[in-house]
Chain A
């Protein structure tokens, strides 16, 4: 299973973290520190796997952003590499040629999208179309609620003035 997912920028900034195994706050910071040290220092044209504390970390770099997933030694590394790329393709389709800034300002959406790809550290859905369809339903629901809320909010504001 995937124990955690980590998105780190080339400068070492964390863009997304998701933990499927229970790590305490302290452990989380330590893991991030250790792994960014290892992954960011790896040169180009090396393999996409790093051995770390009895686990394998599968990572791939897209522009300035490193996508890392930590798995067990016995897991299939390439399968996880496919998951990373699949996730990136969905982000790309959703945001329309995604860039790091999209993920910074819409980090909460990135979390939501990830939840459609992985649950319990396991792969959930391989159809990009299904996921994109779900995401737009989700967006329209939020949009609808917002409109509703604004109108009610205005009314309340006027009454309580």
Chain B
């Protein structure tokens, strides 16, 4: 045992080691920390030796896992010590105790720089090591030039230069701009001629980082890499000390081949030939030997060579050689090599043409799925997942299912998710898919996420052929003595919807279905009860003629839950109870759920988003590229007339809410009914003339008309009051003259405002296209689906949708197809995330081409502030302390608003409620006042409570005083302005049709001075458009 040469330190370490238990150890450490702390306080009296000793002690304590919150300064200050021993301690301790974000580190920059540019080689090494290990952005900016100079200096010894290379690598990672490509590429090529293998190894690491970002600039390095590889692989003039178990520096070989993988190809035929010779030599000349270390080293090189061959997509001959090698590897006993064999085989799947060869190894891979080593099992699972396609899905999925019961807990979730995805993608037939998922739930219910069973419901709903089968299967599982709660949910849902299809089978009468489902009722949690209630209601509805006994039984359950503490359950119970007494209307409302719109599988999305530790990304990408089985394409997914789907398709709601019916009426087929009056469509002669004039004026005032049209239109206005019929005729002319231009149907602004209040409806419509919207909002996130419906019998081309998001929204629009086929509807989901409170409005810049006409509209999207509100009722006990604690500006703002549209108080309360501001009656003793509360969600504010108070003057309804409070100043301001906008302009009131580019109505129609309208960014933005 070598001694540290520091007695005090050794004694302390021995003491700690001799401690009998953790408690003693803590006491000893605390004592020492106290000691060190006092010593540091009287720093003056410390000799360099002592200082060094205490810093070591501190580091040791830190390493034991204790918090050391002092002494960092002392460690850093040692860096500037003049003598090597202290300086070295300072450098090592600093590098261990601090990370790049630590403030103290900044203090050291100057000293470190002095050491780097100084003459003392040892100091240079220490400084470069520190910067290389924990240097951050600031270091990069102030030191990169010096480090570069050292690396290429001819007077520096290799010792310093190899450290400089890696130090520069770190600085480059922290700030890529510090390595100037133009000047550096040639230097880099020169560095690769280096004879010293230490410097060359470090430089190669640097090159790997550089080419991974920009291979273009470093083409000149490619032949040098090949030369280096040749030199190593042929074992020529390599000093003995640079071989490792007889292999010329495996590290340098690996690095060189890694660098080569960043170049897309090797063009020069000579270079290419030499490279392939070397690779061939590596592939052929590596055997599994007895010595573990030699094995590891030679296979490190071999696997890197395999990766390079795969990358260069070499001649078929080499590729098949690789597959053969991998096939050998996945069968060897050596676990490391088996692991890497499986991993590289998964990577190999990216290369086409080899899949069939890989499939030959399926049995061997399945064996590895049962390996004692979880790392290997994971690789095997990933490979099976990657290689699965229509031809082998049945085998693989069944294998996975079988393995599921034996698999360890750490893997079950991943396993079930993957099995579910494969079953969905490659199902040879749908009943098999249902079987698989039911087995999955049966075997590993705890690990089957809701997404999986939701998906089954979607498929069953959308495929009529499947419904009786699924119902029968669900019924079968209910016979089992103990089933998982997810199974209860799924079978209850399916039997509620489709149980009546089984009516004639034994054990499937409504009564029997009810009994067997209700048997499970005592064991389920509150999340399942609502589903059961819906199922009971549906069973009741399907029982024709009604059975009084069953009816009473179900009613008594509804009765019981009418006083349930869970709101969802209570509401369902109350509603179903009331509905079920109404007879005929029950049939309508509880009718079978409509088909689901086809959407990306939530599972696949989940897998894509999933933490990388659950699934190898590459395999998923392979999956994504492969074609899906056609069996599971949802048949007849589009309702006949392109109806936007009903708003609530959440799997838990079984009932069509009456309002949905209204919403879904707004489809192209019914547009005549919902067309607002302000239609400007030249072929419709029956319009009220005022509207046309109004529209003309609207257009005139904003865009400026073609010169010839202006006077005509103006005269039309003046005549309009006196002689409407003349105006009618006059007005129609200019509109008609704009032949070819496509006019919107309905008022765009009204549509926008209507959508601000509800979540589905039509955003825009013209003779060619209808754009519908359906949105779902959850906290600060939203998902909006655009339904682009082509109304014509010809295709619409050059379709483009561009989102112009305001800064506070993060929006991602999925791909919009270039053409929309005749009479077709495409759906484009748009993901929205609210970052912070703001009233700015996102704009959809939409264009398409119909025949020769290019149509372009800019539409505001209803992703507005109130969508991120969630109603909340607060009690007086919660309200008042909160109200008081938000004492004044900027968190609480008050304003007297004039020019308010006069509204009776209840109507104002209604208005608030539609904006998801819950009015809390009774909180304010004054009956003329309103108090409301809501929760606002954004990424920065998270969930934040907002409180609002409105004081009205019964004598003058056009003014009121408003107070808004929340925990965030911006939120308070924005919410206040938002409410003000709503109060001073009720957008639906006056019919004032405007073109697609018109500003929001409040600019034009506010009676009083429009408060803050000029600063309103939303209005400004819209005005600009």
- By CB atoms of chain B within 10 A, which of A76, A85, A102 has the most? A76
Q: Complex Cα distance A73/B95, Å?
A: 26
Q: Complex Cα distance A46/B5, Å?
A: 40
Q: Complex Cα distance A111/B170, Å?
A: 19
Interface residues of A in 83-139 (CB under 8 A from B): 83, 85-86, 95-96, 99, 101-102, 104-109, 111-112, 115, 119-120, 122-130, 134, 138
**What chain A residues lie within 8 Å of B252 (beta carbons)?**
126
Q: What's the A-B contact tally at a CB cutoff of 8 Å?
A: 198
Total chain B interface residues with beta-carbon distance under 8 A: 81
Question: Please, what's the 1-or-0 string for A14-36, where 1 marks a CB less than 8 Å from any CB in chain B?
Answer: 11111110111100010010000
Contact of B4 among A49, A52, A106, A115 (CB under 8 A): A106
Taking a contact as CB atoms under 8 Å apart, the answer to whether B300 and A78 are in contact is: yes
Taking a contact as CB atoms under 8 Å apart, the answer to whether B198 and A51 are in contact is: no
Contact of A76 among B88, B303, B611 (CB under 8 A): B303
Taking a contact as CB atoms under 8 Å apart, the answer to whether A126 and B201 are in contact is: yes
Closest beta carbon of chain B to A108's beta carbon, Å: 6
Q: Complex Cα distance A18/B300, Å?
A: 24
* In the complex, A141 has a CB within 8 A of chain B: yes
* In the complex, B250 has a CB within 8 A of chain A: yes
Q: Complex Cα distance A141/B126, Å?
A: 14
Closest beta carbon of chain A to B370's beta carbon, Å: 14
Taking a contact as CB atoms under 8 Å apart, the answer to whether B47 and A20 are in contact is: no
Taking a contact as CB atoms under 8 Å apart, the answer to whether A25 and B197 are in contact is: no
Closest beta carbon of chain B to A133's beta carbon, Å: 10
* In the complex, A63 has a CB within 8 A of chain B: no
Closest beta carbon of chain A to B611's beta carbon, Å: 7
Known A104-B13, A119-B132, A141-B85: A54·B613 in contact at CB below 8 Å = yes
Taking a contact as CB atoms under 8 Å apart, the answer to whether B241 and A51 are in contact is: no
Q: Complex Cα distance A27/B170, Å?
A: 21
* In the complex, B477 has a CB within 8 A of chain A: no
Q: Complex Cα distance A85/B162, Å?
A: 21
Known A22-B101, A123-B205, A126-B244: A51·B613 in contact at CB below 8 Å = yes
* In the complex, A159 has a CB within 8 A of chain B: no
* In the complex, B780 has a CB within 8 A of chain A: no
* In the complex, B749 has a CB within 8 A of chain A: no
**What chain B residues lie within 8 Å of A129 (beta carbons)?**
241
Taking a contact as CB atoms under 8 Å apart, the answer to whether A19 and B99 are in contact is: yes
Taking a contact as CB atoms under 8 Å apart, the answer to whether A102 and B2 are in contact is: yes
* In the complex, A145 has a CB within 8 A of chain B: yes
Taking a contact as CB atoms under 8 Å apart, the answer to whether A79 and B85 are in contact is: no
* In the complex, A53 has a CB within 8 A of chain B: yes
Q: Complex Cα distance A61/B241, Å?
A: 25
Question: Please, what's the 1-or-0 string for B63-78, where 1 marks a CB less than 8 Å from any CB in chain A?
Answer: 1110100000000000
User: Nearest residue in B to A99 (C-beta to C-beta)?
Assistant: B1
Contact of A119 among B83, B129, B339 (CB under 8 A): B129
Closest beta carbon of chain A to B931's beta carbon, Å: 43
Taking a contact as CB atoms under 8 Å apart, the answer to whether A142 and B251 are in contact is: no
Taking a contact as CB atoms under 8 Å apart, the answer to whether B613 and A14 are in contact is: no
Q: Complex Cα distance A37/B84, Å?
A: 39
Closest beta carbon of chain A to B219's beta carbon, Å: 23
* In the complex, B584 has a CB within 8 A of chain A: no
Taking a contact as CB atoms under 8 Å apart, the answer to whether A115 and B303 are in contact is: no
Taking a contact as CB atoms under 8 Å apart, the answer to whether B100 and A22 are in contact is: yes
Taking a contact as CB atoms under 8 Å apart, the answer to whether B84 and A141 are in contact is: yes
Closest beta carbon of chain A to B889's beta carbon, Å: 36
Known A77-B336, A129-B241: A49·B63 in contact at CB below 8 Å = no
Q: Complex Cα distance A53/B612, Å?
A: 7
Q: Complex Cα distance A51/B63, Å?
A: 25
Question: Please, what's the 1-or-0 string for B591-624, where 1 marks a CB less than 8 Å from any CB in chain A?
Answer: 0000000000000000000011100100000000
* In the complex, B583 has a CB within 8 A of chain A: no
Known A16-B63, A24-B99: A115·B335 in contact at CB below 8 Å = no
Q: Complex Cα distance A95/B4, Å?
A: 11
5 sampled A-B residue pairs with Cβ under 8 A: A49-B339, A51-B375, A79-B254, A105-B3, A105-B10
Q: Which residues of A contact B (CB under 8 A)?
A: 13-20, 22-25, 29, 32, 42-43, 45-54, 73, 76-79, 81-83, 85-86, 95-96, 99, 101-102, 104-109, 111-112, 115, 119-120, 122-130, 134, 138, 141-142, 145-146, 149, 153
New A-B contacts (19) at CB < 8 Å, excluding given A22-B100, A73-B616, A78-B299: A14-B65, A22-B99, A22-B136, A24-B99, A73-B612, A76-B258, A77-B340, A79-B254, A79-B300, A86-B244, A95-B2, A102-B2, A108-B4, A112-B92, A119-B129, A119-B202, A120-B133, A127-B197, A130-B198
Q: Lowest 10 A-B CB distances belong to which pairs? A: A54-B612, A78-B300, A47-B335, A120-B170, A119-B132, A119-B166, A46-B373, A127-B241, A22-B99, A79-B300
